């Protein structure tokens, strides 16, 4: 199932997307009452996908990001792969949806894209074991861990570099049925492929990440773990467009503007 959050002619709602095969042009969005967790409760209202605007598919209380989770990405910055997951937080105010602009802060001269698989939590979880982790997952979406690389290098701590408004695009929807173990991830900037890897290259796998993070903090429904980026990250500039595609999920596209 594809779960989306949409702006429709009468407001904002969650919905599930029903496509006619691979033809997204003919897809319909079925409105879900209240929230997307558990068995959906449909209102009976529906709209063509083409007539609504896709928003960030979830509004997490927190985004937990994983650093250096692809060996080649760690190597391209001259870093070792950590024995345990290296985690940091991105604020909820950094989250935006598809086609919303990434805004470059005037204080930074180097802002980079980082295409990532995002895990969306579906129920409260604390101290879960890896073999139990899948039961706590609602589904998966695409994320861009936008980073002010110069601030990251200067500060040591990553809160400023990773925390600007608009620095966590997610979408286009949450896919509940995909297996995250071995999906192709590609990032394009203005149509040129910059990243091309598979989620099977992750050092710490999805189940282990959920278990590790839940040993540190309680995860709430809608919280996200973004699982690290492969090699090939690079700078984005005003006027460019970034598109990240994950096999079996979809494509997240965002323009780049000056703040």
Query: Model confidence over 104-157: pLDDT tens digits?
Result: 999 999 999 999 999 999 999 999 999 999 999 999 999 999 999 999 999 999
Look up residue 70 and give its DSSP letter. Answer: B
Reply yes or no on whether the pLDDT at 24 is more than 80.
no
Reply yes or no on whether the pLDDT at 103 is more than 80.
yes
Q: What is the mean pLDDT of the chain?
A: 96
Mean pLDDT, residues 15-28: 83
Mean pLDDT, residues 166-185: 98
Q: 131: alpha, beta or left, given left = phi > 0 and alpha = psi -120 to 50? A: alpha
Reply yes or no on whether the pLDDT at 253 is more than 90.
yes
Q: Which range, of 24-28, 155-159, 173-177, 186-190, averages the lowest pLDDT?
A: 24-28
Reply yes or no on whether the pLDDT at 74 is more than 90.
no
pTM of the predicted model over 0.95? yes
> What does the pLDDT read at residue 109?
98
Cα four-point dihedral sign 88, 203, 147, 110: positive
Terminal C-alpha separation, the chain: 36
Reply yes or no on whether the pLDDT at 80 is more than 90.
no
Mean pLDDT, residues 164-190: 98
Beta-carbon count within 10 A of 26 CB: 13
Count of CA atoms in the C-beta half-sphere (13 A) of 226? 29
Count of CA atoms in the C-beta half-sphere (13 A) of 28? 9
């Amino acid at each position: 199932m594809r779960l989306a959050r949409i702006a429709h002619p009468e407001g904002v709602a969650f919905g599930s997307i029903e496509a006619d095969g691979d033809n997204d042009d003919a897809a319909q969005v079925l409105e879900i009452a209240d929230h997307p967790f558990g068995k959906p409760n449909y209102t009976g209202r529906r709209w063509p996908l083409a007539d609504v605007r896709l928003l960030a598919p979830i509004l997490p209380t927190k985004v937990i990001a994983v650093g250096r989770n692809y060996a080649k990405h760690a190597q391209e910055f001259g870093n070792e792969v950590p024995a345990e997951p290296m985690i940091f937080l991105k604020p909820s105010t950094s989250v935006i949806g598809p086609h919303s602009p990434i805004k470059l802060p005037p204080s930074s001269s180097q802002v980079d894209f980082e295409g990532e698989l995002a895990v969306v939590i579906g129920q409260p979880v604390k101290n879960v074991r890896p073999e139990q982790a899948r039961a706590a997952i609602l589904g998966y979406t695409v994320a861009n861990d936008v980073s002010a690389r110069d601030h990251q290098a200067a500060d040591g701590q990553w809160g400023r570099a990773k925390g600007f408004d608009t620095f966590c695009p997610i979408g286009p929807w949450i896919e509940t049925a995909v297996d995250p173990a071995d999906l192709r991830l590609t990032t394009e900037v203005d149509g040129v492929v910059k990243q091309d890897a598979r989620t099977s290259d992750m050092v710490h796998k999805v189940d282990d990440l959920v278990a590790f993070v839940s040993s540190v903090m309680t995860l709430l429904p809608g919280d996200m773990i973004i699982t690290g980026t492969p090699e090939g990250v690079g700078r984005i500039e005003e006027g460019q467009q970034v598109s990240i595609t994950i096999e079996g999920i979809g494509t997240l596209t965002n323009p780049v503007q000056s703040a």
